[in-house]
Every structure is written in structure tokens, then in C-alpha cells.
């Protein structure tokens, strides 16, 4: 774990190159901001995909600052990392009444409050 000061992409690129060893398999970048207004978020995702061959997850502090939903947020982050390393994030074992391979589809409905 190491801090990076500022939102300049070059500083982040240099710090990652200096601090991240070749045996690192996954990196989580926790950066300031909220979704929709963070250019650094998009720049870091592009950097990690194009230049640094390490599985990465960029997380905004605005996302994890919702203490009420922190467990759900962390579960989603872990699920995303699991999928990126080739795992299956959600698996249902031993479905009742199914002795053949079965696909389960979920549906979420928005309820305006």
C-alpha cells in the first residue's frame, strides 16, 4: 500500500512503476472523487489496460464513503476482481429440481421512492 499525491496521471504512472513489483497480481487504485466527474478514473483505467499488465480495479472514494452500503460495495468490488482473474463471480450450486445444466436469470425492477 502506498499513497499517491495529486490527480496528475503522470505522477500516478511514475508511482505505480516505482512501487509495484513484478510479482504483484492485482492492484486496487483508490482515488478521490465521485462517478461522473473524475477524469483521473478514466485515465487510470486506460493506463492499466494499455500500459501496465496487472489486473486492476479503480475505486472512487465517493463509492466507498457510503458506510451504510459498504459491505455491498466491497462485495461488488471483490466480484469484479474475481471475474477479471478468470473466476465466476456468482455460482449457484445444487439447484433444486434441476438435474441438467440450467441458466438462472435475475431481474431487478426500479421502484421510484
pLDDT in tens, 82-109: 888 888 777 766 667 677 777 778 787 8
pLDDT surpassing 80 at residue 56? yes
**pTM strictly above 0.75:** no
pLDDT surpassing 80 at residue 111? no
The pLDDT assigned to 113 comes to 64
- Express as a percent the part of the chain with pLDDT over 70: 94
- Long-range pairs, 3-12, Cβ under 8 A, ≥24: 7/31, 7/32, 7/39, 7/40, 9/40, 9/43, 9/44, 9/47, 12/40, 12/43, 12/44, 12/47
Neighbours of 98 (CB within 10 A): 10
Q: How many domains does the chain have?
A: 1
Rounded mean pLDDT, 22-34: 90
**Bigger pLDDT: 33 or 99?**
33
Contact predicate 25/55, CB 8 Å = yes
The pLDDT assigned to 92 comes to 66
Rounded mean pLDDT, 48-71: 87
The range of the structural domain enclosing residue 4 comes to 1-113
Residue 61: which CATH number? 3.40.50
- Residue 8: pLDDT band (50, 70, 90) is very high
Amino acid at each position: 500500500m502506498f499513497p499517491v499525491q495529486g490527480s496528475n496521471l503522470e505522477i500516478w504512472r511514475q508511482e505505480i512503476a516505482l512501487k509495484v513489483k513484478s510479482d504483484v497480481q492485482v492492484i486496487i487504485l483508490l482515488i478521490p472523487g465521485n462517478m461522473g466527474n473524475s477524469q483521473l478514473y478514466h485515465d487510470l483505467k486506460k493506463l492499466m489496460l494499455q500500459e501496465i499488465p496487472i489486473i486492476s480495479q479503480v475505486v472512487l472514494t465517493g463509492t466507498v464513503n457510503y458506510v451504510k452500503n459498504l459491505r455491498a460495495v466491497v462485495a461488488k468490488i471483490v466480484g469484479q476482481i474475481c471475474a477479471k482473474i478468470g473466476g465466476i463471480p456468482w455460482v449457484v450450486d445444487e439447484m433444486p429440481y434441476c438435474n441438467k445444466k440450467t441458466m438462472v436469470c435475475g431481474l431487478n425492477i426500479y421502484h421510484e421512492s
